[in-house]
């Protein structure tokens, strides 16, 4: 009886394991394939592998349009991350700490861009720009990316801000810190995990964005995703696999790195203090 | 001395707090307490929208005294404390700290020390940075900060804890650090918002003594908010009993306990017995027929007309049980008995669906439930309230 139940349990575990592995394969196989194929020596961007080679990366390094697109994407993402984080922190501070008319409406409106399909948003902004007769500029592209990233950053910082009790700020004020000082010394440091998380997310959102960028980019300007798209129109070159690998590295690596740095910072801080039992 | 307990009309500014903390009776004006009060409220109103949290609150607090605002939750005591700090805006009246009107002074320029129920130590700063916070914003030079923080930690008996984080301290230790942080820059007033409520019972008792000791040593003016009558009675020079946004009584712990000004005070502090009755014989030794039928003799400060409705307020400690009951004997039956070691608390049914609580020293054996017993009280040992629940004086 007991043995049978044990047997059943084992099968349940095996099934769970099998399903899990399948899901992971489904999720990561395309990524792994891209990475592996980027080292393929073959002229064609597909299996079978004919040998190991770094030539596609070399080609990439010499491909001026690709490098330009990379630089464009990088600085757009950085600006987006910076501006969005500031907007996010200020907005969530206002939404959590103050009571004002239309607060509910504002808090809904601020996350709306995340709910509207990107294509609609892309067309909408374009139509607006045309209506006021303005050219498509880099500024428009950056503003668009900020628009896309703000909701996520607000959501992240807001969740953290709710957890920071007001009494800390009150204590700081009572001790003589001005409102700005108490924000800088108390609220902001306690908010840092959300600030870093928000900035990284904003960076990836901007760096990855394809559909909206297609609408907004000025003539002749390519971001990484749009560059890949236009390359794909011509041929499936193994160079694209290399480019894809670089993209994966940046969009996965940067948040991962940020998280690790944050984690080690807190861990270091904790190790500094002597552990002592409370009486 | 004018009677400071009579608050049957609009409360007027009353000098709460005595010059020297710990003195048994209020000191006459003079000495340290003379001159400007440390904090003065003049007809304060505080409203949140349509809800009036505090109305017509006036109080004057002498320098160096320990004053407690006591009342049930929602009575406005915390609101008043926060209005001194500047965390709540007043809608009418004036608040003065050391003679300076502070209504328009922002909180960070008021120079007050604030201790919260939840400690509110900055979790990302160590003990040193927490305590030094107020000094830093007063541009105190670094070596001086180090010295003063050391002194303050010494005072709260946690020397050498500078490098620890708040999360590494127990609740009691955190509250000590919070206290050190609030007094290290020598504020004009120390405000304590239920600082003991979050602690467990043993720690609470210890901290009570500690806070009082530190307050005496530093001579700082302290305003303490609590709903715990024991804390209020044991720590304060003066108690301000509040209910529903208004003052019920201001007095020394003894005054407030022994001669409650209103039915609310009598009930809130120590759950006094309150027996309704009618005056049947006027005069110095007045007779009152209780609603339960018995007639008792009580001392009255002024003659009352025959037929006036009164309430006789009796502290459980003022009742004597059994053979000790001499005057005003009421016979009853013990409903419940709780043995407390030195004394016992009896609940005695005296008929007419009325039971009274007596706290009597134990002589011989403890009474059991169901026993018939006499209770009595001295004619001088009670307080009389009129129909509106105000003390007759």
Residues B154-172, mean pLDDT to the nearest whole number:
90
**Rg of the Cα atoms in chain A:** 24
The owner of tokens 């003799």 is: B297
How far is the C-alpha of B204 from the C-alpha of B198, rounded, in Å? Answer: 9
Tell me the per-residue pLDDT of A147-179, one tens digit each, with 9 for 90 and over.
Answer: 999 999 999 999 989 988 899 999 999 999 999
Contacts of B163 in chain A (CB under 8 A): 273-274
Contacts of A181 in chain B (CB under 8 A): 137
Contact check, Cβ <8 Å, A171/B163: no
Quick one: closest CA in B to A165, which residue? B120
CATH 3.40.50.300 residue window(s) in chain B: 15-261
Q: Indicate the pLDDT class of residue B322, thresholds 50, 70 and 90.
A: confident
Tell me the per-residue pLDDT of B268-307, one tens digit each, with 9 for 90 and over.
Answer: 888 888 888 888 887 777 778 887 778 888 888 777 878 7
Full-model pTM: 0.77
Tell me the per-residue pLDDT of A63-90, one tens digit each, with 9 for 90 and over.
Answer: 888 888 888 898 999 999 999 999 999 9
With H, G, I as helix, E, B as strand and everything else as coil, classify residue B276: strand
Quote the distance between the C-alpha of residue B348 and its chain's center. Answer: 29
Contact check, Cβ <8 Å, A174/B126: no
**Rg of the Cα atoms in chain B:** 24
Sketch the domain layout of chain A as residue ranges. Answer: 55-265
Contact check, Cβ <8 Å, A165/B120: yes
With H, G, I as helix, E, B as strand and everything else as coil, classify residue B365: coil
How far is the C-alpha of B155 from the C-alpha of B54, rounded, in Å? Answer: 36
Residues B133-151, mean pLDDT to the nearest whole number:
93
How far is the C-alpha of A90 from the C-alpha of A96, rounded, in Å? Answer: 10
How far is the C-alpha of B282 from the C-alpha of B284, rounded, in Å? Answer: 7
- Tell me the CATH number for domain B15-261: 3.40.50.300
Domain B271-385 sits in CATH 1.10.150.20: no
Contact B190, B115 (CB under 8 A): yes
Contact B16, B64 (CB under 8 A): no
Burial category of A162 from C-beta neighbours within 10 Å (exposed 0-12, middle 13-18, buried 19 and up): exposed
CATH 2.40.50.140 residue window(s) in chain B: 271-385
CATH topology of domain A55-265: MetI-like fold (1.10.3720)
* Nearest CA distance, B19 vs chain A (angstrom): 26
Cα dihedral B349, B351, B355, B359 in deg (nearest 10): -50
- What ipTM describes this predicted complex? 0.79
Q: What is the pLDDT of residue B28?
A: 38
Interface of A with B (CB under 8 A): 165, 167-168, 170-179, 181-182, 186, 189-190, 273-276, 278-279
Contacts of A182 in chain B (CB under 8 A): 108
Report B:45-104 residues touching A (Cβ under 8 A): 85-87
Give one DSSP letter per residue of B13-74, joined into a string. Answer: --EES-SSTT-SSPPPS-GGG-SS-SEEEEEEEEEETTEEEEEEEEEEE-TT-EEEEE-STT
Quick one: closest CA in B to A270, which residue? B165
**Least confident piece of the model among A46-60, B11-25, B82-96, B155-169:** B11-25
With H, G, I as helix, E, B as strand and everything else as coil, classify residue B189: strand
């Amino acid at each position: 009886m007991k043995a049978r139940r044990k047997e059943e349990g084992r099968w349940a575990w095996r099934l769970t394991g099998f399903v899990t592995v399948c899901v992971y394969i489904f999720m990561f196989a395309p990524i792994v394939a891209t990475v592996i194929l980027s080292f393929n020596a073959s002229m064609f961007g597909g299996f079978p592998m004919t040998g190991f080679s770094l030539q596609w990366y070399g080609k990439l390094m010499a491909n001026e349009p690709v490098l330009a697109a990379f630089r464009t994407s990088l600085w757009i993402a950085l600006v987006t991350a910076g501006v969005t984080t500031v907007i996010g922190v200020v907005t969530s501070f206002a939404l959590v700490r103050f009571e004002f008319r239309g607060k509910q409406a504002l808090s809904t409106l601020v996350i709306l861009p995340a709910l509207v399909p990107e294509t609609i948003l892309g067309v909408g902004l374009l139509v607006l720009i045309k209506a006021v007769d303005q050219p498509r500029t880099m500024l428009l592209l950056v503003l668009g990316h900020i628009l896309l990233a703000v909701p996520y950053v607000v959501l992240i910082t807001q969740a953290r801000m709710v957890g920071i009790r007001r009494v800390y700020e009150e204590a700081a004020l009572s001790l003589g810190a001005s409102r700005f000082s108490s924000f800088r010394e108390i609220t902001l440091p306690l908010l840092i995990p959300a600030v870093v998380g928000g900035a990284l997310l904003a960076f990836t959102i901007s760096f990855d964005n394809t559909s909206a960028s297609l609408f907004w980019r000025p003539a002749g300007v390519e971001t990484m995703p749009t560059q890949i798209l236009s390359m794909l129109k011509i041929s499936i070159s193994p160079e694209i696999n290399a480019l894809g690998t670089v993209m994966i590295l940046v969009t996965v690596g940067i948040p991962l790195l940020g998280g690790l740095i944050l984690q080690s910072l807190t861990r270091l801080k904790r190790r500094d203090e002597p552990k002592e039992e409370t009486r | 001395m004018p009677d400071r307990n009579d608050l049957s009309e609009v409360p007027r500014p009353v000098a709460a707090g005595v010059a020297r903390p710990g003195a048994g009776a209020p000191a006459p004006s003079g000495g340290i307490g003379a001159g400007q009060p440390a904090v003065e409220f003049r007809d304060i109103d505080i409203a949140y929208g349509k809800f009036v949290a505090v109305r017509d609150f006036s109080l004057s607090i002498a320098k160096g005294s320990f004053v407690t605002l006591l009342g049930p939750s929602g009575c406005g005591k915390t609101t008043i404390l926060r209005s001194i700090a500047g965390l709540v805006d007043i809608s009418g009246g004036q608040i003065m700290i050391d003679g300076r009107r502070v209504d328009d002074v922002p909180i960070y320029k008021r120079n007050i020390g604030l201790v919260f129920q939840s400690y509110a130590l900055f979790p990302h700063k160590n003990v040193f940075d927490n305590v030094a916070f107020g000094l830093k914003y007063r541009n105190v030079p670094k070596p001086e900060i180090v010295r003063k923080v050391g002194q303050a930690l010494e005072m709260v008996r946690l020397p050498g804890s500078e490098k620890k984080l708040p999360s590494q301290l127990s609740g009691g230790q955190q509250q000590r650090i919070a206290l050190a942080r609030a007094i290290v820059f020598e504020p004009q007033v120390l405000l304590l918002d239920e600082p003991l409520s979050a602690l467990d019972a043993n720690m609470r008792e210890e901290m009570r003594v500690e806070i009082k000791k530190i307050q005496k040593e530093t001579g700082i003016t302290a305003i303490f908010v609590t709903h715990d009558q024991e804390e209020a009675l044991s720590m304060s020079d003066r108690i301000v009993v509040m209910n529903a946004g208004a003052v019920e009584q201001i007095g020394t712990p003894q005054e407030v306990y022994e001669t409650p000004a209103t039915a609310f005070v009598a009930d809130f502090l120590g759950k006094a017995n309150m027996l309704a009755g009618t005056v049947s014989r006027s005069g110095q030794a007045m007779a009152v027929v209780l609603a339960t039928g018995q007639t008792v003799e009580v001392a009255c400060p002024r003659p009352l007309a025959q037929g006036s409705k009164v309430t006789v307020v009796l502290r459980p400690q003022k009742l004597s049980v059994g053979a000790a009951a001499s005057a005003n004997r009421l016979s009853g039956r013990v409903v419940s008995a709780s043995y407390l070691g030195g004394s016992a608390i009896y609940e005695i049914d005296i008929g007419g669906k009325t039971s009274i609580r007596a706290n009597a020293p134990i002589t011989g054996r403890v009474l059991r439930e169901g026993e018939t017993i006499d209770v009595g009280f001295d004619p001088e040992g009670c307080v009389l309230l009129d129909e509106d629940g105000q003390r007759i004086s």
